[in-house]
Amino acid sequence: MRMYDLIMKKRNGGILNDEEIRFMIDGYTKGEIPDYQMSAMMMAIYFKGMNEEETVNLTMAMAESGEMLDLSSIQGIKVDKHSTGGVGDKTSLALTPMVAACGVKIAKMSGRGLGHTGGTIDKLESFEGFSTEISTEQFIRNVNEIGIAIMGQTRELAPADKLLYALRDVTATVDNMSLIASSIMSKKLAAGADAIVLDVKTGSGAFMKKEADAFSLAKEMVSIGKNAGRKMMAVISDMDQPLGNAVGNALEVKEAIATLRGEGPKDFTELCLTIGSCMLQLSGLADNDEEAKEKLQSVIENGSALNKLASFVEAQGGNKNMVYEPELLPKAAIISPLYAPCDGYIDRIACDEVGICSLILGGGRETKESKIDLSVGIVLQKKVGDYVRKGEPLAVIHANDEDKKKICEERLLAAYRISNEKKDEGPVIRGLVR
């Protein structure tokens, strides 16, 4: 078998079989197939596409290119969730303790962020001493004993995906539905969960700007998971404006803690309850949305979800006192309101711009080597549909550098559009794929 022949076959619209896909992925992972040939294949796939069987075979070949985590020693159904990401997306911080407090086993691998804010691991490191650098044995023990553990993705997990994504990133072949779906699902399948709930974002601050594309991606990933023997559901959620009010690592942790106390923003709470409901149903702990959401509300009201977060943080070396006293979390030196220039209704918030403002303040990474400032960020005071008077705060900027704060002020003010007419905010949940 020759890579040249496979490139020509796909270029001409042919369908690659499982053996051909595995030859390609194994050869590339081992360094036997050069970048220039795999680049040509990625471009052929970009233009010619892949059918459902090809996409499943590609996903499984990438998942099996390295370690497949064995979670069989964890009692009960293991449920994982994945978000395609967005501005202010701190869902795992509140959702996983809620679901674990209901009895679902959460064994999750997460990464660091590259972009406007940190990833789940960066945010969790706002807790003094917290570490995701734990052994697989401790990871499994924590899930069995506490019900939740989060560790960093190992180098051995889906190495083909890391290589392919880096190549796609520099060859303009990222934006292909099959390649996106297989990239996400290869890591999820390798991580060993029995059931997976996907949170696929849509809107101006999401990778999938169009709702129809978000549904297509969700359907593709759900299909891949089911073909691989996993229980699957997907939630399509809004990212036309930041999720919740806080954008920035420690600020998002504080908002997650507030949500576990029943004091979180309406949109963020609704999303957590919806995804959590899917996780409970897939695990067999609830028969329908109503029953699942009642269980989730009860663990918030009785404090067991907050206690679960504290136990999880402590088990991974963190200071659990910060869960009960969030004022102990990292704080910025400069806390500065951004005032509205006129009266009116918030018509639009440029989601990506809010994320860039957090990045400017130091809340994200421009390169993998960038050091994150966990204390900085933005807390929105007004969102789409809200009325604001001239001189009222639109947002509060948390900064440690006066010059960065000034740049952030200009861009954040430009991100807001104020109108004389009230615009209804769209629904947070755009739909479900089962």
Which are the catalytic amino acids?
Answer: 82, 161, 168, 183, 187
Extract the runs of DSSP E, i.e. beta strands, from 43-185: 79-83, 106-110, 148-152
* Pair 177, 223: CB distance under 8 Å: no
* Pair 220, 55: CB distance under 8 Å: yes
Q: How are beta strands 416-419 and 377-380 bridged, if at all?
A: unpaired
Look at residues 227, 166, 164, 199 and name the one whose alpha carbon lies nearest to residue 25: 164
Helix (H, G, I), strand (E, B) or coil at 83: strand
Neighbouring CB atoms inside 10 A of 344's CB total 18
Half-sphere exposure at residue 220, Cβ-oriented, CA atoms within 13 angstroms: 29
Q: How wide is the angle at C-alpha 108 spanned by C-alphas 371 and 263, nearest 5°?
A: 75
Put residue 62 in one of left, alpha, beta given phi > 0 → left and psi -120 to 50 → alpha. Answer: alpha
Q: How are beta strands 377-380 and 195-202 bridged, if at all?
A: unpaired
Helix (H) or strand (E) holding 235: strand 231-238
Give the span between the Cα atoms of 211 and 200, in whole angstroms.
10
Look at residues 110, 94, 97, 92 and name the one whose alpha carbon lies nearest to residue 311: 97
Total residues belonging to the chain: 434
> What one-character-per-residue DSSP string does 297-354 give?
HHHHHTSHHHHHHHHHHHHTT--THHHH-GGGS---SEEEEEE-SS-EEEEEE-HHHH
- Provide the token pair at 290: 């109503």
* Pair 282, 77: CB distance under 8 Å: yes
* Pair 309, 323: CB distance under 8 Å: yes
Please list the helix, strand and coil fractions of the chain in percent, rounded to the nearest 5, in that order. Answer: 45, 15, 35
The angle that helices 289-301 and 304-315 make with each other, rounded to 10 degrees, is: 70
Residues contacting residue 74 through CB under 8 Å, at least 6 positions apart: 105, 107, 140, 143, 144
